[in-house]
Amino acid sequence: MQLTIQNLSKTYANGVKALDNVSLTIPTGMYGLLGQNGAGKSTLMRTLATLQDADSGSAQLANIDVLKDKETVRRMLGYLPQEFGVYPKVSSTDLLDHFAILKGITNGRERKELVEALLHRVNLYEHRKKAVSSYSGGMKQRFGIAQALIGDPKLIIVDEPTAGLDPGERNRFYNLLSEIGENVIVILSTHIVQDVMELCNNMAIIHQGRVLYGGSPQAAVKSLDGKIWAKSISKADLPTYQQTHTVISNKLVAGKPLIHVLSEGRPSDGFEQASPDLEDVFFSTINAGAHV
């Protein structure tokens, strides 16, 4: 199964063009949608999750029209939004049971078995009687995945799922998502480069509503071999380097800016060749897109 998106566009009433002719082909497996806050990722996710309409374009999940046949899509969809609200005093068992009813699972015994299996799968069974509102951030995200798995979905959408998680919870979440992504389409929308590099075989970079890159993270990184150069400079010199070089990123290391420059050859004295990573891909792509 694959999801095919063609020329999807959306402009809000305030004039913001959130999606600008977005076209993507998303196969089974983990697919990363990488972009800065406000790039259009959440708009695309909400459109695919049938929560809002596009102005134009199409989206097909196998032979299903995602934009028109919303009820069918919802039966095949698992969705974990960026802001996942819960009832304050309801246990995870009762809340999952409620969600299962909403998904059309009316047999009580079937629901009970499903809820227990999901709680075991996301490692929350021993906490099943606690109110979900009392869970840690990572536990809430794992509960969110559990509810997204109700109904054996073919398409799962997770929006900024690891923001705010500690390293241990993030790793547990990575492992859970990777396992799920073996058999279904999982779209991971994030601004965290590491999430995409560690989880996804395919990805797209979206900026100001436009797709700037689509392909594998590994191929994108390989395309920058020999083209990334690093140098530690003084803060006072940063504006000059930004004017004279293609500076794609800078970060403070020991109080001094460490700049990464995109260049076919050594830019000038003092630069050392750096091994490219997906962060370099992201910033160089965004930089090129801003000048189109």
User: Per-residue pLDDT for 84 more than 80?
Assistant: no
Contact 130, 161 (CB under 8 A): no
pLDDT computed for residue 179 by the predictor: 85
pLDDT computed for residue 157 by the predictor: 93
For the entire predicted model, the pTM comes to 0.87
Domain finish residue from 215, 235, 266: 215
When comparing pLDDT for 270 and 85, which is higher? 270
Does residue 289 form part of some domain?
no
pLDDT computed for residue 261 by the predictor: 95
pLDDT tens profile 4-33: 999 999 999 999 999 999 999 999 999 999
Q: Residue 26 is encoded by which pair of tokens?
A: 């998303």
User: Per-residue pLDDT for 290 more than 70?
Assistant: no
Does residue 25 form part of some domain?
yes
Averaged pLDDT for residues 157-165: 79
Strand residues in 74-153 grouped as ranges (E): 77-80
Q: Are residues 101 and 40 in the same domain?
A: yes
User: Per-residue pLDDT for 292 more than 80?
Assistant: no
With cut-offs at 50, 70 and 90, classify the pLDDT of residue 102: confident
Distances (CA, A) of 206 to 137, 214, 275: 27, 9, 24
When comparing pLDDT for 55 and 84, which is higher? 55
Distances (CA, A) of 228 to 136, 254, 289: 40, 21, 18
Contact 92, 119 (CB under 8 A): yes
Mean pLDDT over all residues of the chain? Answer: 90
Measured over all CA atoms, what is the biggest interatomic distance in the chain, rounded to whole angstroms? Answer: 72
Averaged pLDDT for residues 260-276: 92
Q: Are residues 33 and 65 in the same domain?
A: yes
With cut-offs at 50, 70 and 90, classify the pLDDT of residue 176: confident
Q: Are residues 23 and 116 in the same domain?
A: yes
Q: Are residues 202 and 254 in the same domain?
A: no
Q: Are residues 202 and 253 in the same domain?
A: no
Q: Are residues 84 and 131 in the same domain?
A: yes
Contact 205, 35 (CB under 8 A): yes
- The residue among 46, 72, 54 whose CA lies nearest residue 6 is 54
With cut-offs at 50, 70 and 90, classify the pLDDT of residue 285: very high
With cut-offs at 50, 70 and 90, classify the pLDDT of residue 289: low
95 contacts: CB under 8 Å, gap ≥ 6: 86, 87, 132, 143, 147
Q: Give the CATH number, domain containing residue 179.
A: 3.40.50.300
CB crowding 2-40: b at 16 or more within 10 Å, else e: ebebeebebeeeeeebbbbebebebebbbbbbbbeeebb
Averaged pLDDT for residues 265-289: 90
Q: Are residues 17 and 131 in the same domain?
A: yes
Q: Are residues 176 and 259 in the same domain?
A: no
| 3-state secondary structure (DSSP) of residue 272 | strand
pLDDT computed for residue 217 by the predictor: 94
Q: Are residues 243 and 191 in the same domain?
A: no
Does residue 290 form part of some domain?
no
The helix (H) or strand (E) run that includes residue 239 is helix 238-244
Q: What span, in angstroms and rounded, lies between the C-alpha atoms of 191 and 187?
A: 13
Does residue 65 form part of some domain?
yes
Cross-strand partners of 19: 10
Does residue 136 form part of some domain?
yes
Domain finish residue from 163, 191, 215: 215
Percent of the chain with pLDDT over 70: 97
Q: Residue 275 is encoded by which pair of tokens?
A: 């091994």
Q: Are residues 266 and 140 in the same domain?
A: no
With cut-offs at 50, 70 and 90, classify the pLDDT of residue 291: low
Q: Are residues 60 and 89 in the same domain?
A: yes
When comparing pLDDT for 163 and 128, which is higher? 128
The helix (H) or strand (E) run that includes residue 108 is helix 108-121
Does residue 280 form part of some domain?
no
Q: Are residues 77 and 167 in the same domain?
A: yes
Domain finish residue from 186, 215, 244: 215
Q: Which of 18-32, 50-64, 78-92, 187-201 has the lowest mean pLDDT?
A: 78-92
User: Per-residue pLDDT for 257 more than 80?
Assistant: yes
When comparing pLDDT for 168 and 215, which is higher? 215
Does residue 286 form part of some domain?
no
Does residue 36 form part of some domain?
yes
- State how many domains the chain has: 2
User: Per-residue pLDDT for 164 more than 80?
Assistant: no
Range of the domain at 154: 2-215
Q: Residue 163 is encoded by which pair of tokens?
A: 């923001």
Averaged pLDDT for residues 185-201: 88
Distances (CA, A) of 268 to 261, 264, 271, 272: 11, 12, 6, 10
Averaged pLDDT for residues 211-234: 94
User: Per-residue pLDDT for 86 more than 70?
Assistant: no
pLDDT computed for residue 252 by the predictor: 92
